[in-house]
Structure 1
Amino acid sequence: MKHFRPELQTTEAVVVRTNNFGESDRLINIVTPHHGLIRGIVKGAKKPRSRIGGPLDLLKFVKLSVRINTNLSIFTQAETLNGFPGFRNNVSRMARGSYIGEIAEKFSMEGSPNPSLFKLLVESLSILEDTVKLEMLTRWYEVKLLQVTGFAPELDNCVETGKTINPGNHLFSTDKGGLVSMGAKPFGGQPLLPASINTIKLLKNLKRSNWLDICNVKVDDNTLRSTARILRQYLHYTLGSSAKSESFMDDIRYRESNQQQNSHNRS
């Protein structure tokens, strides 16, 4: 009986997960523009003379050849298009990169193309190399990712009443995916999160702006923290789970905050 052999295809991809498999192989997950998520194996990736193991490392933007199977696809050749060296030796940036890659993977499905998601992923990793506004980048990426996957938060009309949201302090519903007017009376659902007027302004800015515009917006720390809380809870509800890289990212951020505070106290 003749076995069907999948056609060899070439695609751009970002490596979003790697795991060692056996003595010499590696399992990897990649996000692609036209095939969605692909899970596969790299034979001999850990061998010293492997030409494919290096390019197929975590958070690298690559061009590769793959035979797509329903179970494990087979990766054969790969070249690095951008290894993003700007964040590889910086633990804080690498933590953000891990988070960016992980939630892109969570929103990706096998056989479901999303070129906009892929473009956003590559752009965000590129920005991560040199921006000093890591918190703003993370928030911008979260909002844009929600937009390109069809889960953009509703910020103009109350998700309970359908009426226009007037300027002011309101609430955010994670299960209904948007703002609830302060005077509305929601029935059931998840606990509502406070959304100040400044938080709502930032969310709207993040939703409509490209990176070059939003990176120049001045935002106080309280507004950033409030926005982060809303987006994180909304992502948790939408995805059904938290990202494993969140705790690593939070731990690094906490350490850096303590170091800055200690340095300030000594001066």
Structure 2
Amino acid sequence: MAEIKPIKVWLTPSGPNPWKVILVLEELSIPYEMESFPFPDVKKESYLTINPNGRVPAINDPNTGITLWESGAIILYLVEQYDKEGKLTYESLRRKNEERQWLMFQVSGQGPYFGQAGWFTVLHAEKIPSAISRYTNEVRRILGVLDGHLAKTGTGYLVGDKLTYADLVFVPYNDRVDALTGMSKEEVFGGYENVVKWHEKMLARESWKKSMEVRARLMDEQGLQWNGMPKGVNNMEEYMALLKKG
């Protein structure tokens, strides 16, 4: 088999979505190189030619010549192209579609609702109690769906009895649930024992530990807080004012 050339990954280190892709690359031992850049650059023409939606991540695979954006599409591509041994996937029709089902739930449910919780709780200059309450409750609802399913399977995984990409894609957002809601993880995860055990098992994986070490370094290089804001900036209003000055 020909040697695999490194896949290029464009990312801003603060957001959760790129790290879903990095986790899959790490788990499958696919060589990759990161193009890390500041968040405002996602709207620059140089990046819009890669992803016209101006979001991260995006990848270019020199082995196939394919450029893709949207984390869900990227992950499906990676496992279909490179997981020939089924490390993160099943071959059966049932399991394969269950994996896709949970991926769709992550990109349409967990990601957007957790993101909105973070926006109204942390980033939005005006605190709107009804919005904060709505999205904090949605975070708990999503966790309830996951917890109920994990209790039903009894295997410690979302699909079948082994780790799949369906498990991995939930980790980056779950790991920031305290910062996104302004509550402790114990408060947010309270009552969801199956989610807690599952999440802790994901955090113990070397792929996660390595990814977060890299993220911490990239964040520090850009002078960023956990939420992507420069150190000393507390909300989006201050951030926009800073951008105008720059």
- The structure whose residues are more often strand, as a share, is 1
Same fold (TM over 0.5): no
Structure number with larger C-alpha Rg: 1
Does 1 or 2 have the higher relative contact order (CA < 8 Å, sep 6+)? 2
- The structure whose residues are more often helix, as a share, is 2
User: Structure 2 length normalisation: TM-score?
Assistant: 0.30
